[in-house]
Amino acid sequence: MLVTARFRRVVQETAGGLPRQFWWLWVSTLVNKLGAFVVPFLAMYLTKDRGYSASYAGLVASLFGLGSAAAALLAGVLTDRIGRRPTLLGAQLGTALFTTVLGFTDGQVAIAVVAFLVGLFNNATRPPTSAVIADLVPPEDRVRAYSLNYWAVNIGFGLSAALAGLIATHGYLTLFLLDAFSTLVCALVIFVRIPETRPQVAPDQSAGSAEPRISLLSVFRDAPFMALVGLTLMLALVFQQGSTTLAVDMGAAGITSTEYGLVIGLNGLLIVVLQIPLTRWMQGRSRTGLLIASCLLTGWGFGLAAVAGSSAWLFALSVAVWTVGEILNTPVMMGLVAELAPAHGRGRYQGVFSLSWSLASFLGPAGGGLLLQHAGPVVLWTTCGAVGTATAAGYLVLARRTGAVGRRRPVATEVAAPAAEPEKAPAGA
């Protein structure tokens, strides 16, 4: 009885009290990521299946990132202007279409162009998804909500990466088609179950008390926020090696596609197992300290790959270390960004924040590919450790000089769109 009561309390503290619409968004995320086969295997597909060079694979991944960068700003503006729901639906439908096209595309130039379009639509889902969570969930529950949503991402990612390695042995086209199908199912769930959540200014507000209009220029002028974006870019450059140069290095070391799928799938598996308990452990702890620890674990987790050689086990250890850094970093940063953004500018703030990851997906693969090809894996992975250390120092300096990591923006008066009034779901729904 005591064990049952404790379990119920843990479930209630972890998942209770969140709006029902959040859980439908959670389900749609899980469905989508269960079929997210293409991006983790794109570099290996291009080098081992199509026979292209590591530098070309890095170029394609960079063009994917360039599309993501354009999407971050465009989707951020659209999220605030036309709404979260239509932006999200359009992004999902476009992703499904061009993922399918990519599976049938031949020729270096054509593959590069379609990869850009896949990146454009794929990343356009980030700003509206993050804004929906910020709209629906009260500030005190946002880190928990972002953590749960990230948990769904990695439940799907862990399973899909392991399955994709097995499916790839029978041909890569199936990966592209299944990825597109899961994205369409995700779009269907959003269309049926997720209402528009864009906040409206409260009707009793006078014109003088309304918040000033937020533009992209306003976001770029927010110096402490942009410093956070810059530090996120540095860390994201390191994370990008996990889906690009890591695959190429492991392939060159004789690691099979099945082994690679299991090793990279460990990232998602560990997040599934550790995300919730670590989120509970993080409550009440220094946000600055958590961010510093996440940077060091991430940088030197990747750094361990320098001594992995041809051992899948050592590559797995490297993945395990940087995964803990990822768990500590992601929900804290997402909650911080939602906290710093005014309600009527959440799309733009989330878009600019997402730009850091998009730029990293553009610069990281190209830079990592060049380092791997011309300097070797030891230099590449040691550089990752150094960048992680520099990012940790940057968070410390920012926290001491500006207090940006700990500051809170006053909450403006707002009301949700009528269709999106939160409905409480039972614990663990």
pLDDT tens digits, 293-349? 999 999 999 998 888 877 888 989 999 999 999 888 888 888 788 777 777 777 888
CB atoms within 10 A of CB 138: 13
Q: pTM of the prediction?
A: 0.72
* Structure confidence at residue 144 (pLDDT): 81
What is d(CA 270, CA 316) in angstroms, rounded to the nearest whole number? Answer: 11
348: tokens are 């733009």
CB atoms within 10 A of CB 149: 22
Q: How many residues does the chain have?
A: 429
**Per-residue pLDDT at 352 exceeds 70:** yes
* Domain boundary assignment for the chain: 20-198+214-410
User: For residues 248 and 369, is the Cβ–Cβ distance under 8 A?
Assistant: yes
**Per-residue pLDDT at 87 exceeds 80:** yes
The helix (H) or strand (E) run that includes residue 96 is: helix 84-104
- In sequence order, the β-bridge partners of residue 414 are 201
Q: Quick one: how far is CA 244 from the chain centroid?
A: 15
User: For residues 261 and 160, is the Cβ–Cβ distance under 8 A?
Assistant: no
CATH number of 20-198+214-410: 1.20.1250.20
Q: What confidence category does residue 207 fall into, taking pLDDT thresholds of 50, 70 and 90?
A: very low
**169-204, pLDDT tens digit by residue?**
777 888 888 889 989 999 999 998 888 887 765 444
**Per-residue pLDDT at 407 exceeds 60:** no
What is d(CA 72, CA 126) in angstroms, rounded to the nearest whole number? Answer: 8
Nearest to 61 by CA among 231, 229, 240, 236: 240
- In sequence order, the β-bridge partners of residue 424 are 19
* Structure confidence at residue 18 (pLDDT): 83
* Structure confidence at residue 325 (pLDDT): 92
In our burial notation (b when 16+ CB lie closer than 10 A, e otherwise), range 49-63 reads eeebebebbbbbbbb
415 phi and psi angles, rounded to 5 deg: -130, 145
* Structure confidence at residue 15 (pLDDT): 65
* Structure confidence at residue 238 (pLDDT): 92
* Structure confidence at residue 413 (pLDDT): 39
User: For residues 20 and 423, is the Cβ–Cβ distance under 8 A?
Assistant: yes
